[in-house]
Amino acid sequence: MKKWKQRIENMFTKHLELPSDVILELPRITTIGQLHAYIENHKGLILFSDTELRLRMKDGHLRIAGENFVLKMMLPEEILLEGKIKELRFIDD
Amino acid sequence: MKHTQDVFFTGSVTVKASGHHPELFFDLCAREGITVWNVKKINDTECLGNIRLSDIPSLKVLRRKTVYKLSFPSRRGLPFLIKKIFRQKPFVAGLLLSFLFVVFLSNIVWDVEIKGVHPEIEKKISQKLDAYGIQPGALKFTLGTPAAIQKRLLDDLPELLWVGVTEKGTTYQLEAVEKSIVEEQKATGPSNIVAAKKGVIVDMFVAKGLPLVKVNDVVEAGQVLVSGRLNDKKEQEDKNADKDDAADSKNGQLVSAEGDIFAETWYRVKTTIPLETSYQVLTGESNAKYRLKLGNLQIPVWGFKDADYEQTYKETNIKPIYFFKWTLPLSVVEEQVHEQESYQQKRTEDEARSAAVDQASKQLQTELGRDADISFQKVLHERIENGKVKLILYFKAKENISKIQPISQGD
């Protein structure tokens, strides 16, 4: 059932050329060099510290590591992270 | 980023959340629609973040559902700045005082400039102005309007032909023109005195020249009364006319004749006067009221009670208040309420006649000038028409009829 749904969604994005982040409820991550990371569509914050930001995603979570992290802006489903970004890793549950 | 552009004006607060995983509190806030920015973790149990001042109530609601402890280490923005300023009473008082001071200074006369006249007259004008209270340091709205000042100056100083008073901010600029007193036209060359009007001579005073007429002579307009040719006399006695011929033949001594010839002259004056008149008179009772006007709102300041006059005549003066050169929307309104009485008058024919004579003689007097001596003789014609009396009156006047006429010396 779940796989079947995913197949349909994949098909939508491929054939109708809809942006995948909207259809698949995936985060859209924009980074500007190492300075900023702009994350949309996340599902909640798990952990934040000077050196690490962990965000929940639809499946699994996202881990951003670096230095001097500051959350420049927090809106319902968006986060703007500032600092020196060193690593961006998707972790499956 | 645009979400926090206006926070200077709306005000923002730094929130310090303490507890286990304090960043989660800010995440909760964000999901509830509270914008959070500049979130920083200080240590494991403390986290700083900024929120809007207007979000504080919803933040407090949220806090009750959690176990975090909140404190507000700093606050920024205009609302706090204003609060801070208003907490400093001396500062506010000083601000208010300085504003009032500027208003005060903008409403006093700083300078009075007089232009266009001799220093002598200038001094007279400035003395008069001092007497009216128009001098540096006077409050502007206690002074009259420029037009009123103008009129007063003209009445008080007969030397002035015209005065223009303009109010330029805190300076009064006066521009005056003196009457250039025309020296009685002294004919530089030789001249005769001729009659300006027809009349009977009653009095003569000849300072220079040869009188050709006597008291009780009837003279026509243009007739020579005093000749400028001194050796004209014999000629004149011999034959009464052809003076020009005589002058041409003899080159007598020529002077410019001087003198006053008074003659009796006659005038017919037509005048009309109504039998019924109504007129208003101010009784002299008046009541002054002062109000402060702000837009359409008028706040009474002085003079609250209405005088119980039956008929009133109102005079309203609005004086603007200045702040530097700008007029404030505030002005002082002075209202003078005068008591008025109206009279109805019915004249009998006799009264109408005497009123008409008065009116006509005044009219004639202004025509002839102040020196003329007018006496009423009789009514030539009288008719009543549409409630009006129409009269033709006969007047006798004693006036100076001398007119200087230069003698042409034909080359």
CATH code for position A75: 2.60.40.2000
Q: What are phi and psi of B3, to 5 degrees?
A: -65, -20
Residues 19-78, chain A, touching B (beta carbon < 8 A): 44-45, 47-50, 69-76
| B132: amino acid identity, one letter | Y
| A13: amino acid identity, one letter | T
CA B333 remoteness from chain centre: 16
CATH T-level topology, domain B111-178: Ubiquitin-like (UB roll) (3.10.20)
What class is the B2-82 domain?
Answer: alpha beta
Q: Which residues of B touch A51 (CB under 8 A)?
A: none
Judged by CB atoms closer than 8 Å, whether chains meet at B4 and A50 is answered as: no
Q: Which residues of B touch A47 (CB under 8 A)?
A: 21, 23
B83 min Cα distance to partner chain A (Å):
27
Beta-bridge partner residues of B281: B341
Position A14 in a domain:
no
Position A5 in a domain:
no
Judged by CB atoms closer than 8 Å, whether chains meet at A49 and B40 is answered as: no
User: Rounded CA gap, B131 and B128, in Å?
Assistant: 5
Please give the pLDDT value at position B247.
47
By three-state DSSP, how is residue B143 classified?
Answer: coil
User: Rounded CA gap, B276 and B355, in Å?
Assistant: 12
Beta-bridge partner residues of B166: B173
b/e code B348-385 from CB counts within 10 Å (16+ = b): eeeebbebbbebbbeebbeebeeebebebeeeeeeeee
Please give the pLDDT value at position B411.
54
- Answer for the pair B247, B269: CB distance below 8 angstroms, yes or no: no
Q: What is the interface size between A and B, counted as CB pairs within 8 Å?
A: 55
Q: What does the pLDDT look like over A10-66, one tens digit per residue?
A: 777 777 777 777 667 788 899 999 999 999 888 889 999 999 999 988 888 899 999
Please give the pLDDT value at position B246.
47
SS3 for B206-222 is: EEECEECCCCCCEECCC
Site from A43, A49, A53, A71 to mutate, B interface, most B CB atoms within 10 angstroms: A71
pTM attached to this predicted model = 0.46
Closest residue by Cα to residue B277 from B355, B199, B198: B355
pLDDT tens over chain B, length 411 residues: 567 778 888 899 999 999 988 988 999 999 888 999 999 998 889 999 999 999 999 999 989 989 899 999 998 888 898 888 888 888 889 999 999 998 888 888 888 888 888 888 888 888 888 888 888 888 887 777 888 888 888 888 888 888 888 888 788 888 888 877 666 655 567 888 888 889 999 988 888 888 888 889 899 988 888 888 887 555 555 444 445 544 444 556 788 888 888 999 988 888 888 888 888 888 888 888 888 888 888 888 887 777 778 888 888 888 878 887 777 888 888 888 888 888 888 888 888 888 888 888 888 888 888 788 888 778 888 888 888 888 898 989 998 888 888 887 665
The domain of A49 spans 25-91
State in Å, rounded, how far the first CA of chain A is from the last one.
20
Burial of B31 (0-12, 13-18, 19+ CB in 10 A): middle
Minimal-distance CA residue of chain A relative to B37: A73
B79 min Cα distance to partner chain A (Å):
22
Sign of CA dihedral B313, B319, B320, B325: positive
A70 min Cα distance to partner chain B (Å):
5
Q: How far is CA B142 from CA A91, B134, B302, B334, in A?
A: 85, 9, 14, 10
A84: confidence class by pLDDT, cuts 50, 70, 90: very high
Angle value at C-alpha B329, between B325 and B331, nearest 5 degrees: 90
| Closest by Cβ to B30, choosing from A49, A70, A76 | A76
Judged by CB atoms closer than 8 Å, whether chains meet at B3 and A73 is answered as: yes
Q: Which residues of A touch B4 (CB under 8 A)?
A: 73
Position A83 in a domain:
yes
DSSP state of B141: G
Q: How far is CA B143 from CA A78, B132, B147, B334, in A?
A: 69, 8, 11, 12
A77-92 average pLDDT score: 91
Judged by CB atoms closer than 8 Å, whether chains meet at A47 and B31 is answered as: no
Please give the pLDDT value at position B182.
64
Judged by CB atoms closer than 8 Å, whether chains meet at B38 and A72 is answered as: yes
User: Rounded CA gap, B328 and B324, in Å?
Assistant: 9
Please give the pLDDT value at position B94.
92
Please give the pLDDT value at position A81.
93
User: Rounded CA gap, B24 and B49, in Å?
Assistant: 12
Contacts of A54 (CB under 8 A, 6+ apart): A45, A46, A47, A48, A61, A62, A63, A64
Position A20 in a domain:
no
Residues 3-62, chain B, touching A (beta carbon < 8 A): 3-4, 21, 23-24, 26-27, 29-31, 33, 35-41, 44, 47, 49
Position A2 in a domain:
no
B1 min Cα distance to partner chain A (Å):
7
b/e code B182-218 from CB counts within 10 Å (16+ = b): eeeeebeebbbbbbbbebebeebebeebbbbbeeeee
Contacts of B141 (CB under 8 A, 6+ apart): B107, B319, B320, B321, B332
What residues does each domain of chain B span? 2-82, 111-178, 277-345
Judged by CB atoms closer than 8 Å, whether chains meet at B49 and A72 is answered as: no
Minimal-distance CA residue of chain B relative to A45: B27
Minimal-distance CA residue of chain B relative to A68: B40
- Answer for the pair B126, B115: CB distance below 8 angstroms, yes or no: no
Please give the pLDDT value at position B51.
92
CA B32 remoteness from chain centre: 69
Judged by CB atoms closer than 8 Å, whether chains meet at A80 and B3 is answered as: no
Beta strands in B44-137 (DSSP E): 46-52, 69-76, 111-115
By three-state DSSP, how is residue B8 classified?
Answer: helix
B81 min Cα distance to partner chain A (Å):
24
Closest residue by Cα to residue B22 from A47, A83, A26, A87: A47
Q: How many helices (H) and strands (E) does chain A have?
A: 2, 6
Number of domains chain A is built from? 1
Beta-bridge partner residues of A23: none
Please give the pLDDT value at position B288.
84
Please give the pLDDT value at position B183.
62
Judged by CB atoms closer than 8 Å, whether chains meet at A75 and B30 is answered as: yes
Residue for token digits 């009796």? B264
Closest residue by Cα to residue A77 from A45, A52, A53, A37: A45
- Answer for the pair B257, B206: CB distance below 8 angstroms, yes or no: yes
- Answer for the pair A42, A55: CB distance below 8 angstroms, yes or no: yes
Burial of B343 (0-12, 13-18, 19+ CB in 10 A): exposed
Judged by CB atoms closer than 8 Å, whether chains meet at A74 and B30 is answered as: yes
Residue for token digits 């011999």? B238
Q: Which residues of B touch A73 (CB under 8 A)?
A: 1, 3-4, 35-37
Please state the ipTM of this predicted complex.
Answer: 0.80
Site from A40, A64, A74 to mutate, B interface, most B CB atoms within 10 angstroms: A74
